[in-house]
Structure 1
Amino acid sequence: KEVAQRICAQPGEDNYGRLAVLSNWLAETKIEFDVPADVFVPPPKVTSAIVSLIPREHPLAEADLSTLEKVTAAAFGQRRKMLRASLKQITNESETILISCNIDPTRRAETLTIEDFCTLARALKEYI
């Protein structure tokens, strides 16, 4: 169930991270229902969930997959840091690039939308 929540999380939610960004960029995600432990033999000590992933005809926003993976890895790799600090591992010009993308450099990764990450990936592509 925890992985299902991480896949389907939205910006600002506790479970929102790299998995949610990449999953929702490529597919429409939804937790369909929980599966109680007693339907398994032996019953696990966790609750399971069924998730539907419906592939999008086109990704939610334009971005290169490899670049988006690297940008989200850097952004979420140091979760409580501001973006200007976490993206410095990609380039020392991270603050300037964030501003050029209309993203406040003091924001944290968990507040960015998928579209924000795609904009950032396009801007950072030449540095990766």
Structure 2
Amino acid sequence: MKTVRPKKNLGQHFLTDLNIAKAIADTVDACPDIPVLEIGPGMGVLTQFLMEKDRLLKAVEIDSESVEWLNSHYPALRENIIGDDFLRMDLSSLFDGRQFVLTGNYPYDISSQIFFKMLDNKELIPCCTGMIQREVAQRIASAPGNKSYGILSVLIQAWYDVEYLFTVNENVFNPPPKVKSAVIRMTRNSTEKLGCDEALFKRIVKTVFGQRRKMLRVSLRQIMGDKAVAQEFWQHECMTRRPEQLSVAEFVELTNLVDAELKSAV
């Protein structure tokens, strides 16, 4: 079988530099002794180094041509190559309920969706590593006060410690993407509960960053709706701030403030 043709509709950019592939594979060592799930192995440039880790490895690939290639070239992994869409998979049954490391050279156009699914399954995924578009990596790792700080920053940093590991240039891919890439690692922090209504927390973060240039007293009106909100609520000191100025802890405080007002307002 000839090499797999990169498919634009699947966002495939195959890594060709073996040194970088090995460096990405080595990022999973920060969370040892548990299985690894690789997303989008393509022709296995990263897979071959993950197989050397002497731990249970499964790979999920949506492209049937790539699945055929992997089965042909990595027969030892054949039973653990899953031809499926990661975003539609039930992760709780993947390793019989065991925790696992998530890794891969993630398709740029669905990387955010992958990480939202990671958050939905955070008790199963204590560590997530891999390569994504540099801009997205910078966003995830960004601290409050930066222009790149946003929804992904807050929601991921609430549950994970984020490390921006290294940048990858365009010329080590086939075909070369139009942007630079970056490798990151996210490791579950000690937070078990946020200390607020977590569904409301997520809703507030998404709502206020949807109008990130506006003060909170403006963007929060979408959530408060037509309720008779006390004037004191709108006079709270945080209401004149913009969302990128709030830390995760301050978003938790804001959520509790909103929650209390929603319950007391008519």
One fold, TM greater than 0.5?
yes
Question: Structure 1 residue 24 and structure 2 residue 160: aligned?
Answer: no
Report the counterpart of residue 123 of structure 1 in structure 2.
Answer: 257
**% same residue:** 36
Q: 1:76 to 1:25 in 2, by over 3 A?
A: same
User: Of the candidates 96, 99, 114, which is equivalent to residue 232 of structure 2?
Assistant: 96
- Compute the TM-score of the two structures, normalised by the length of structure 1: 0.86
User: Does structure 2 retain, via aligned residues, the 8 Å contact 1:11–1:111?
Assistant: yes
Q: What secondary structure sits across from 2:257 in the alignment?
A: helix
Q: Structure 1: which 5+ residue stretches go unaligned?
A: none
* Separation (CA, whole Å) in 1 of partners of 2:153 and 2:193: 13
Q: 1:53 to 1:74 in 2, by over 3 A?
A: same
Q: 1:22 to 1:98 in 2, by over 3 A?
A: farther
Q: What secondary structure sits across from 1:81 in the alignment?
A: coil
What is the RMSD of the two structures over their aligned residues, measured on CA atoms? 2.2
- Compute the TM-score of the two structures, normalised by the length of structure 2: 0.44
1:104 deviates by: 2.9
Q: Which amino acid aligns with 1:86?
A: S
Report the counterpart of residue 74 of structure 1 in structure 2.
Answer: 207
**Deviation above 4 Å: which 4+ runs of structure 1?**
none
* Structure with bigger gyration radius: 2
Q: Which amino acid aligns with 2:233?
A: I
* Separation (CA, whole Å) in 2 of partners of 1:75 and 1:7: 17
Report the counterpart of residue 22 of structure 2 in structure 1.
Answer: none
Q: Number of matched residues?
A: 126
Q: Which amino acid aligns with 1:79?
A: R
User: Of the candidates 135, 141, 147, which is equivalent to residue 2 of structure 1?
Assistant: 135
User: Does structure 2 retain, via aligned residues, the 8 Å contact 1:17–1:110?
Assistant: yes
Q: 1:52 to 1:79 in 2, by over 3 A?
A: same
Q: Which amino acid aligns with 2:187?
A: I
1:123 deviates by: 2.4
1:125 deviates by: 2.8
